[in-house]
Amino acid sequence: MKNLVSWFKRLFMVPGLFALLLVASGCSGITVLDPKGPVARTQQELIIFSITLMSVIVIVVFVLFFYMIIRFRERPNWTDKDYDPHQHGNTTLEIIWTVIPFIIVAALSVPTVTSLYALESPPEETNDQEPLVIHADTSNWKWYFSYPEQDIETVNYLHIPENRPIEFKLASADSMTALWIPALGGQKYNMAGMQNTLYLQADEEGEFAGRNANYNGSGFAEHTFTVTSESEEEFNQWVSDVQNNAPEMTKDRFDQYLEPGLAQEAEYSSTHLEYVDFGMNSGRSYITDLYGGNLGEQLHLEGGEGGPWEEE
């Protein structure tokens, strides 16, 4: 039995060491715990708060658990001094361990609910600014970012100004997808025929990884984009570059994009919102009308080496 107990101890050191290692290495490698904007920060604070509280519970359970199995294990010199087979419960104790979890749930509910409401609108700290509106639409397995005010559109990449809230308008032409930029904040679904709003904001310049987080078939792993956060001036410079130098997003070109497949980054000096808005019920069957039953194409991508779908 001694052997067994020490096995148990060794076993549970594995996760413990692991956790320590990760904490020691700092959270810098862990995107979600290293927020680059107010939305991600709200969520990170909530996560840290819940981890702390949950650790207390885990520790209590682990300590009691090891106490029980070590103290009350059957061993060679066992006497039934404190063996009590007829004990059938203890109401006081049971009430205690009902009430305490209730309190913990309440403690977690309050910040959850307040942050839920807070995330419905642009971040507090920049509420003096108008959010920049970007429509983020998807079709198998591409992102189209339309900037209606600027009248430009990008494919598979995003430029945003720092310190200004971004109001994403999310929709999808076909499968359900989700816009997720972990460094800036949590995800929300893009769906066909309806529009979701997601507020995100970057506090600093830099490049962040963004992706579709909701599985949508063979090109899912490749359904990613990069976000470049830059100063107001640089952003405006970029916008006028695109406005002046990029081709227009014609209906033909856009219809071609809607065909299943991957695409390279690209930019256009007009948006597809002029002919179709997937966030409206009217835009819902646009793609099926266009391609009918041919939308299930299976791309046999291999290990991240998918041949990018080229535009003619």
Partner 1 sequence: MWDFIWNDFLVTGEPIIYGAMASIVLATVGIVFVLTYFKLWKWLWDEYLTTVDHKKIGIMYIIAALAMLFRGGVDALMMRTQLALPNMNFLNSVHYNEIFTTHGTVMILFMAMPFIIGLMNVAVPLQIGARDVAFPFLNAFSFWTFFFGAMLFNISFVIGGSPSAGWTSYVPMAGPELSPEINQNYYLLALQLSGIGTLATGINFLVTILRMRAPGMTLMKMPIFTWSALITSIIIIFAFPILTIALALMTLDRIFGTHFFTLAGEGMPMMWANLFWLWGHPEVYIVILPAFGVFSEVISTFARKQLFGYKAMVYAMCVIAGLSFVVWVHHFFTMGAGAGVNSLFSITTMLIAVPTGIKIFNWLGTMYKGRIRFNVPMLWALAFIPNFTIGGVTGVMLGMASADYQYHNTYFLIAHFHYVLIAGTLFGMFAGLTYWYPKMFGHKMNEKIGKISFWFTVIGFNITFLPQFFLGLMGMPRRTYTIEPEWMPLNLLSTAGAFILATGFVIFTFNIYYSARYEPREKTGDAWDGRSLEWATTTPVPHYNFATIPYVNSHEAYWDMKETGATTYDESKLEPIHMPSYKGLPIIMSAIMFMASFGLVWHWFWLAIPGLLGVIICMVIRSFDFDEGYHVPIDEIKRTEEQARGRKE
Name the minimum Å distance from CB 150 to partner 1. 25
Cβ proximity to Cu ion, 5 vs 194, nearer residue: 194
Give the whole-angstrom CA distance, residue 296 versus residue 292.
10
Cβ proximity to partner 1, 11 vs 24, nearer residue: 11
Give the whole-angstrom CA distance, residue 249 versus residue 148.
13
The residue nearest Cu ion at its CB is: 191
Cβ proximity to partner 1, 148 vs 217, nearer residue: 217
Name the minimum Å distance from CB 163 to Cu ion. 31
Give the whole-angstrom CA distance, residue 146 versus residue 203.
22
The item of Cu ion, partner 1, none sharing an interface with residue 217, based on CB under 5 to 8 Å by kind, is: partner 1
Binders in 36-65 for Cu ion, by CB under 5 A: none
- How far is residue 131 from each of residues 41, 230, 277, 304, measured CA to CA in Å? 18, 15, 20, 35
Name the minimum Å distance from CB 295 to partner 1. 5
Cβ proximity to partner 1, 46 vs 132, nearer residue: 46
Sign, CA torsion 172/176/182/185: positive
Binders in 97-136 for Cu ion, by CB under 5 A: none
Q: Would you give the DSSP letter of residue 65? A: H
**Of the candidates 152, 149, 218, 209, the residue with the CA atom closest to the CA atom of residue 179:** 209
Cβ proximity to partner 1, 197 vs 269, nearer residue: 197
Peptide bond into 141 cis (omega under 30): yes
Name the minimum Å distance from CB 236 to partner 1. 29
Name the minimum Å distance from CB 265 to partner 1. 18
Binders in 168-197 for Cu ion, by CB under 5 A: 191, 194
**Of the candidates 26, 246, 255, the residue with the CA atom closest to the CA atom of residue 154:** 246
Which residues form the interface with Cu ion (CB under 5 A)?
191, 194
